[in-house]
Amino acid sequence: MSKLEPAQLWRSLLILLIYAPIILAVGSAQFRDDGLATRLLGVPASVWIVCLSMVALVALAGRFANSAFTADDAVQP
């Protein structure tokens, strides 16, 4: 039985904080915003947002690597 640690829940909340707004912004007609086609350094703002969110998620995975596992949470019968 693995122990569900508060840190895991906080980290998953962090993932949702990055993930959910992106999904709302890019996925649904209710949140359409033509301003997101505005270019920044030649690249549309929408592309910047999606790419930065991808980078943030990969960085989070790397960050969690150092702390996601401890020997103390080994399976106990």
Partner 1 sequence: MSDSAIFYFLATVGLTLGVTFWAARRNRSRADYYVAGNRITGRQNGLAIAGDFMGATTFLGMTAMYLDNGVDQTAIYYVAPLAGFCLMLLFIAAPLRRAGKFTMGDVMSARLGSPALRVSAGLSTIAISIIYLVGQLVGAGALIAVLFGIGFTPAVIIVGLLMTIYVTIGGMLAATWVQIIKAALLLTLVVVIALLAIWQAGGIGALYDQAAAISPRGEALFVPGASDTGLFSSMSLAFGMAIGMLGLPHLLVRLFTVPDERAAQTSVIVATAIIGFVFLLLFAIVGPAAVAFVKNNPLFTAADGGIIGGANITSVHLAEALGGPVLMGITSAVAFATLLAVVAGLVMASASAAAHDLFAIFRRNKPLDEALELRVFRLAAGGIGIVAVLLAILFQHQNVAFLSALAFAVAASANVPVLLLILYWRPVTVAGALAGGLFGLVSSVALIILGPSVWVKIMGHEAAIFPSDYPALLTMPLALAVAIAVSLLGPRSAETAPAGQGRS
Instruction: Report H helices in 5-75.
Output: 6-27, 45-65
Q: Is 6 in the site for partner 1 (CB under 8 A)?
A: no
Q: Is 17 in the site for partner 1 (CB under 8 A)?
A: no
- Cα 38 to Cα 45: distance, rounded to the nearest angstrom: 6
Rg (CA), the chain: 17
Q: Is 42 in the site for partner 1 (CB under 8 A)?
A: yes
Tell me how far, at minimum, the Cβ of 33 lies from partner 1, in Å.
7
Size of the site for partner 1 (CB under 8 A): 50
Tell me how far, at minimum, the Cβ of 2 lies from partner 1, in Å.
4
Tell me how far, at minimum, the Cβ of 1 lies from partner 1, in Å.
6
How many CB atoms sit inside 10 A of residue 1's CB?
A: 8
